[in-house]
A and B are shown apart, each in its own frame.
Chain A
Amino acid sequence: MKQRYGEGLVFAAVLLVGLAIAGFGTGYQAQTLFQMVMMVLLAVGWNVISGFTGYVSFGQVAFFGFGAFAAAVAILNLDVPWYVAMGIAGAAAALVALPLGLIMLRLSGIFFALGMFGLARIFQLTASSIDITGGPMGTTVPGAESPNLTAIVAIGITAVAVAITYAVSRSRLGLTLMATRDDPVAAQAAGVDIWKAKVIAFCISAAFAAVAGALYVWNVGYLDPSSAFAGTIELQSVLMVLAGGIGTVWGPVIGGVLVSLLSTFLWASFPMEQQIVLGVLTMAIAVFAPTGLMGALRQRGWIRRAPIWGPPLAASASPVTTTAVPRDAGGAPVLTCRKLSVRFGGVKAVTEVDLDVRAGEMLAIIGPNGAGKSSLFNLMSNFHRPTGGQVLLDGQPILGIAPFRLARCGIARTFQTSRLFRSMSVWETVLVAAASVAPDRHEAVRATTEILDRIGLLDRWDDPPDLLPPGRQRLLEIGRALALKPRVLLLDEAMAGMTLQEIERVHDALRAAIARGTAVVAIEHVLPAIAPLAARVQVLDFGRTIAEGIPREVLRDPIVVEAYMGAEYDA
């Protein structure tokens, strides 16, 4: 708590110093300051898409140039004052970013980075063909009277932008962005609408860049395509974020100030070699210190990110939830598979599997490696599309429902290999799922506290998951799934690698969930881990159901024994 006020105080002090220089400094000082603040704004914007969302873009300058041209056209054509032009630039960029984001964010990694680069070039070529702005040669635009004014305005706008990113990073959106960046698949399974999150981030990031571009035009009073879309702007904003710490709130601000000072110095002393130095720095940071200054401080334990919506409620403030009566225990099945099949290439992974599970019961699915168990789960949670048959939730086909929506309406799952969010704490891991089904923050916090208490991780709520022993990590994943308050819980070898004590923890948590009417489907390679809870067992081999019934009988079935033990079972 203390640290958060500290951050605010330091930032306010820096703002005051900046405003003082902008207000009372010489024209040169104000101009230098303007350059710096404008680049910080651009860096803050780049950080939202590349740092928070993990989509590294090499075309952020597309929106910078877009903003510059939008503002220029507004001023020249509509004859609006500069602040309206800036608003128009920002809004237009966010509007354009919406459809573009829906297209570009389908790409990932290198493809997104280069695709954005291409987009910047397309924007530049388009801008070169606009007549009112003088085509490729450019034009003069009515600019500000004094650099002192532009510097003050730039500081004000950038402060607002930093405040917005701070608010985002502490909000539900920030939580979902982090989850999306760390593991999009697990995020969807935790009920996160990853598309909504990343498109919003893309739009925010575009708007920031566009306002920076509008500031730029207003400041210099001149606009031409090759300066507005210059690669060096891109390089500087990337370097600023990297140096300060990618994905942090303050990294771009600190890095922005440092890199601006450096590049101003370079520009004054070694104008020809400036880009070499900046390029080498970018390489060095990418290789040796990818987390930047903030990362280095965090590693030493000098600062840390405050947990979102933490800490947990005190034990007394977290009343035990009233156990909901199973809606229709023993009645109609909650989840049903009818002749479910899927093939990958020519390989039949699942063939005509029928399955029913009722509220308040556990169904175990066992079978040798490669029997199609995990594929079956992917079908039941809509991560794969079946090639035949269907899955029904409460009698309604789930086909076409996005996995995150399915997770919210009641089908939660875990994964065979551990999929935790590596930059989130134990608390946030569960919170992200709880927040996607809770009506408000209070309820999400309460539910998360309760779940952590139930799985015995409340005392470690603020630890990063990779400090937990493997069994506890699996437990945490189960907790994340339970936080969705699922009607159906799909566990994929959840208890592999757990100690007996941890298995008992899981059993307790599952018993409680089953008692409240959750239907559980559990895949295990071997049965003992779940036998005490399973009412029925279904055996898969080569994608087909080869046996089903109560455990004791199924396991005596010679077909099962052969599939499991190998042909020459001789015991």
Chain B
Amino acid sequence: MSEPGITEREWQQLYYRLERPLYNLAYRYVLQQQEAQDTVHDAFLQLWARRGRIRADTANRYLWVSVLNLSRKRRRWRRTKAFLSGAEVLLELPAPDSPESNAAAAQEHRQLHLAIDRLPEKLRGVLLLTEFAEMPHQSIAELLSIPSGTVASRRHLALKRLHAELKTD
């Protein structure tokens, strides 16, 4: 087991390796590109502030848990703000990355994101981590402090609900 302490170089390497998957996790919670990036940055700044107390081999886990928790907080705040102002929660879709992307695909994409947004938090968290964290179910189970079998069953249930919801839309 290594000593606590993360160097600037290790911090930078973690950022380059995890920026994209962490951003994608945060984006599915906050549904705004810049806010998703800010959420990832908040987690990296927290890690930097605690760099003397965290071991390099656990930094990966720390970042996933931080981004998940920060995203949940921001999502709650976004929904409260929308409720108080009476406005609809806006979904900001990234620009199409290929010329063949069309309006129908964008609509399908939007429906999928809104369906994920409507999932119960327990299912959404597991679904998004299994999508983006590129970790075995056992590691995700450790992150969430749940049994490994629960990860598989929650993912299965989440997919079933999404399928049912998208079929009725």
- The judgment on whether A and B are partners is no
Instruction: Mark A residues whose CB is within 8 Å of B.
Output: none
Q: Which positions in B face A, CB cutoff 8 Å?
A: none
